[in-house]
Structure 1
């Protein structure tokens, strides 16, 4: 039954994708992040739905070229350079054949990020894309949050089967960076309820439902028993409170909910979280430190890094302080450092820095503009998500996971849309900022003269 339902939804989306590449982008993201076909046990489970979605986007773009536009911007330029650099490091890798195979997969992911971004041209499309991206992960947050509450947090919450975020730690970070996007959707409820399936419920109930899903995602992240997620939630919550419009309300919720949730969790969870302070006595933490030191040794020895495969006995024998303790990097930073060297890490950090800066520009461009308030809020929430990823990713090997890269496409295309709108407005229609110091402009002089009479 599940397989039939999934294939029916996919077929409907595929037909729409042939008419507009944007619909194909939504289909691609839904399949890639949620992996709905893995939730069944029949014919849909092993079908290449992601590949079909990619083909549909290309066909839709070829037949509707006016519905796509170039996403070129500083973060995109750096991403392209980073992609080229990864190709060079793959060719010179210690395990060349296997590294090249991984490189081709990563290259396809990044190319699709750029293709998907090119389909976002209107506010409605951007909001819809944010909605599909967030809800693809939030589904597991809502289900996992209810599971945690029903079982008293005694069991861990896991992600979509056969996906990058299947593990409890990976899912936790995914949920953390999804919460700000859900908040954005709650504030854009007028656009959200335009979807036929949500229209009968009305704005108030849809907004409340989104808030409930946000809370369940937070509960599920805690219920994952992930120590990295706890640190990520702490960092994200602080910035989220600062960036939100309802500081008092959200602050009270955090103050009341956080202690209650922690007391609710079992002793096993409390003991595991306590190892954050005693990491030097935790075998898992020591294994990660060993992998981080190995990545540093690789970068110090090889300017091009070791390639995509570093968690192998051969590489650990060559560079790790404890050669027999083979473990993946468990950090986006050390993962990139070991695989692509210091230059690769610099490009990676520069990409995220430029993406964060682009989100900040959205806030400045929309300041004082009620009609662009949505863009400013989106930029603000993307910044919150990026901080959550920066903290949570420090403990996970998610350097090439596509969801955070979609944030880049979202803010780049939103900035392009906002700048286009501003450029099309007559100069007289734009709000003039009040003069601050310096010689008074003619209009200000006239006002001063009038006030004296």
Structure 2
């Protein structure tokens, strides 16, 4: 039944995606983040929905009237530089076949990022995209929160099979990143029932994050909550609410959870933590040997560990966005990656400054503040997780660029419209 429902939804919307590119973008993000086909057990599980939607949307985009010029901000230029550099490092990759496979995944994500930048520039479409992404990820937080309540936190909360958020650590980070967005959507809606529904859903996502038993998620969640309070206009009340609700959520967790979180302080005695440090040394040694080319995608392989790792037999994944980029894209790739983070932060600040004290731009002012909180979560959580090419992060960057572009356009229109209005009022008063 689930399989038939997914087939029905996708193929009924494909004609619309062909005619209207924004619908294709929304459909692509729904499939990419929620992975509804992975929730069944039949033919839909292995069906290439993403490829069908991508092909349809791209054909429609070529002939679409929705296309507009992509706003060429410094952040967009930095994204383009990273894409170009990833193509260069793939050409020189040490594991060519695996690198090419990962390259295809990353390029699909980036292509749709730029399609969204071209056809989702209106406020309505930005908010639609935000709703689709947020609810698609939050679904697993709601489901996982209920699961945690039912088993007392003894079992791990996992994402959909075969997806980017299948792993408990990655799912937890994704949920931490969407929590600020759920709070934003709750603030913006006028419907009380929806506000309460989003609040309950956010609390369930919090339980799901705890139920992941992820130590990196605990650090990322702490950073996210701290910046959430700092960005809030009602810091005292939000801080008081968190001080009351967090102990209640933690109360559901078993003793094993507290023991695992305690190992953060004793990482020297933890084999997993020491394995990550070994992988970080591997990344540095590889980048030192190939400072510009790096190792290319999928460079973290046992064979290469024998050449570059201090402990060759202790093979681990990157477990850090920074060392993942360093090892695979080299020092130059890391510089571009860090530049994107810095420019994204700067764009948030500029957008908030431009939209401050303007009631018509309140939606943008608060949205970029929450995106800033999500980026903090990604920066902290990503320090212990290999998600350098995480589609959720780049989608939020796209929404940030679109929001900034919308605010700049609004300011331009306002400046151009002030003088004529004043003159008409002056002439009327003189008459």
TM-score class normalised by the smaller sequence: over 0.9
Partner of 2:44: helix, strand, or coil?
Answer: coil
Q: In 1, Cα distance between the equivalents of 2:409 and 2:110?
A: 26
Partner of 2:276: helix, strand, or coil?
Answer: helix
Partner of 2:65: 65
CA contact (8 A) 1:6 1:44 kept: yes
Query: Alpha-carbon deviation of 1:306?
Result: 1.5
Q: Work out which of the residue numbers 305, 318, 321 in structure 2 matches 1:316.
A: 305
Partner of 1:31: 31
Pair 426,327 (structure 1): closer, same or farther in 2 beyond 3 Å: closer
Q: In 2, Cα distance between the equivalents of 1:122 and 1:237?
A: 30
Q: Relative to structure 2, which stretch is displaced further, 92-101 or 316-325?
A: 92-101
| Pairing of 1:13-412 with structure 2 (within 5 A) | 13-190=13-190, 203-303=191-291, 304-412=293-401
Q: How many residues align?
A: 418
Q: In 1, Cα distance between the equivalents of 2:100 and 2:41?
A: 32
Partner of 1:160: helix, strand, or coil?
Answer: coil
CA contact (8 A) 2:206 2:249 kept: no
Superposition RMSD in Å: 1.5
Output one character per residue of 1:143-187: Cα deviation in whole Å (capped at 9) or x when no partner.
001111121111110012110110000000000000011111112
Partner of 2:311: helix, strand, or coil?
Answer: coil
Structure 2 segments unaligned to the other structure (5+ residues): 420-431
Pair 66,306 (structure 1): closer, same or farther in 2 beyond 3 Å: closer
Q: In 2, Cα distance between the equivalents of 1:350 and 1:95?
A: 27
Partner of 1:155: helix, strand, or coil?
Answer: coil
Q: In 2, Cα distance between the equivalents of 1:385 and 1:73?
A: 21
Query: Alpha-carbon deviation of 1:428?
Result: 6.9
Query: Alpha-carbon deviation of 1:63?
Result: 3.3
Q: In 2, Cα distance between the equivalents of 1:174 and 1:39?
A: 18
Output one character per residue of 1:266-312: Cα deviation in whole Å (capped at 9) or x when no partner.
01100100000000000100100100011111112211211212222
Partner of 2:297: helix, strand, or coil?
Answer: coil
CA contact (8 A) 1:310 1:328 kept: no
Query: Alpha-carbon deviation of 1:343?
Result: 0.8
